[in-house]
Amino acid sequence: MSLLTARGLAKRFGGLHAVAGLDLTVARGEMLGLIGPNGAGKTTVFNLLSGFLTPDAGDIVLDGRSIVGLAPHAICRLGLARTFQIVRPFPRMTVLENVRVGALARSPRAGEALARARDVVARVGLGTRERVPAGALTLADRKRLELARALATGPALLLLDEVMAGLNPTEIETIIQLVRAIHESGVSILLIEHNMRAVMALSQRIVVLSFGERIAEGAPADIANHPKVIEAYLGEEYVRAAPA
Amino acid sequence: MKWALAGGVVALVALPAVLSSYALTLFILIFFYGFLGQAWNIVGGYAGQLSAGHAAFVGVGGYTATMLSIELGLTPWVGMLVGGALAALLGAIIGYLGFRFGLRGFYFVLLTVAFAEICRVAVSNIDALGGPLGLYITFTGNPRQFQFQDGRVYYYIALALMLLATLIAWAIERRRFGVYLAAIREDEAAAEALGVNAFKYKMLAMVVSSFLTGVGGTFYAFYLFSLQPNTLFGIPLSVEIIIRPIVGGAGTLFGPILGSFILTPLAEISRRYLGQGGLYGAHLIAYGVLLIGVVLFLPEGAYPRLRRALARRAGATR
Ligand SMILES: Nc1ncnc2c1ncn2[C@@H]1O[C@H](COP(=O)(O)OP(=O)(O)OP(=O)(O)O)[C@@H](O)[C@H]1O
Ligand SMILES: [Mg+2]
Cα B26 to Cα A121, A242, B151, B198, B222: the distances in Å are 49, 77, 11, 39, 17
Cα B56 to Cα B70, B120, B241: the distances in Å are 21, 8, 11
Show Cβ contacts of residue A122 under 8 Å, excluding neighbours closer than 6 positions.
none
Which has the closest alpha carbon to B98: B187, B270, B90, A85?
B90
Residue B283 has pLDDT above 80, yes or no: no
- The DSSP secondary-structure symbol of A94 reads B
Q: What pLDDT, in 10s, does the model give residues A106-123?
A: 988 888 999 999 999 999
Q: ipTM score here?
A: 0.91
What is the H or E stretch that residue A8 is in? strand A4-13
Q: How many CA atoms lie within 13 A of B131 on its CB side?
A: 2
Cα A66 to Cα A3, A43, A61, B81, B160: the distances in Å are 12, 20, 4, 43, 51
Q: Which of residues 121-180 of B touch A (CB under 8 A)?
A: 174-176, 179-180
Residue A232 has what pLDDT? 74
pLDDT > 70 in chain B, percent: 96
Domain boundaries, chain A: 2-84+156-241
Of the pLDDT bands very low, low, confident and very high (cuts 50, 70, 90), residue A237 is low
Of the pLDDT bands very low, low, confident and very high (cuts 50, 70, 90), residue A192 is very high
Cβ of residue A226 closer than 8 Å to a chain B Cβ: no
Residue A244 has what pLDDT? 44
Q: What pLDDT, in 10s, does the model give residues B72-117?
A: 989 999 999 999 999 999 999 999 999 998 888 889 999 999 999 9
Identify the CATH homologous superfamily for domain A2-84+156-241: P-loop containing nucleotide triphosphate hydrolases (3.40.50.300)
* Residue A110 to residue A133: CA distance in whole angstroms: 19
**Is residue A40 within 8 Å of residue A84, measured between CB atoms?**
no
Considering only CB atoms, which chain A residues are within 8 Å of B199? 71
Of the pLDDT bands very low, low, confident and very high (cuts 50, 70, 90), residue B280 is low
Atom number in ligand 1 closest to CA A41: 18
DSSP for B36-76, written as a single string: HHHHHIIIIIIS----S-THHHHHHHHHHHHHHHHHH---H
Average pLDDT over every residue of A30-55: 94
Q: What pLDDT, in 10s, does the model give residues A130-166?
A: 999 999 999 999 999 999 999 999 999 999 999 998 8
- Which residue's alpha carbon is nearest to atom 11 within ligand 1? A18
Cβ of residue A228 closer than 8 Å to a chain B Cβ: no
Residue B43 has what pLDDT? 97
Residue A239 has what pLDDT? 47
Residue B16 has pLDDT above 60, yes or no: yes
Residue B18 has what pLDDT? 83
Residue A242 has what pLDDT? 47
- What's the whole-number average pLDDT of chain B? 90
Residue A235 has pLDDT above 80, yes or no: no
**Is residue A237 within 8 Å of residue A208, measured between CB atoms?**
no
Considering only CB atoms, which chain A residues are within 8 Å of B187? 88-90
Are the beta carbons of B193 and A72 separated by less than 8 Å? yes
Residue B103 has what pLDDT? 84
Q: What pLDDT, in 10s, does the model give residues B201-247?
A: 999 999 999 999 999 999 999 998 889 999 899 999 999 999 999 99
* Residue A99 to residue A110: CA distance in whole angstroms: 12
> Of the residues A9, A42, A84, A236, which should be mutated to test ligand 1's pocket, given the most ligand atoms within 8 Å of the CB?
A42
Domain boundaries, chain B: 25-233
Cβ of residue A101 closer than 8 Å to a chain B Cβ: yes
Residue A125 has pLDDT above 60, yes or no: yes
Cβ of residue B187 closer than 8 Å to a chain A Cβ: yes
Residue B195 has what pLDDT? 96
**Is residue B79 within 8 Å of residue B68, measured between CB atoms?**
yes
Residue B188 has pLDDT above 90, yes or no: yes
List for chain B the helix, strand, coil content (%; round to 5): 80, 0, 20
Average pLDDT over every residue of B266-271: 80
pLDDT > 90 in chain A, percent: 77
* Residue B186 to residue A131: CA distance in whole angstroms: 17
Strand A57-62 relative to strand A65-66, pairing:
antiparallel
Average pLDDT over every residue of A189-201: 91
Show Cβ contacts of residue B298 under 8 Å, excluding neighbours closer than 6 positions.
B305
Which of A47-56, A145-154, A216-225, B292-301 shows the lowest per-residue confidence on average (mean pLDDT)? B292-301
Residue B276 has what pLDDT? 65
3-state secondary structure of B78: helix
Are the beta carbons of A105 and B194 separated by less than 8 Å? yes
3-state secondary structure of A118: helix
The nearest CA of chain B is from the CA of A108 a distance in Å of 7
Residue B130 has what pLDDT? 86
DSSP for A26-86, written as a single string: E-TT-EEEEE-STTSSHHHHHHHHTTSS--SEEEEEETTEE-TT--HHHHHHTTEEE--SS
Q: What pLDDT, in 10s, does the model give residues B20-40?
A: 888 899 999 999 999 999 999
Of the pLDDT bands very low, low, confident and very high (cuts 50, 70, 90), residue B128 is confident
The number of angstroms, rounded, from the C-alpha of B185 to the middle of its chain's C-alpha atoms is 20
3-state secondary structure of B142: coil
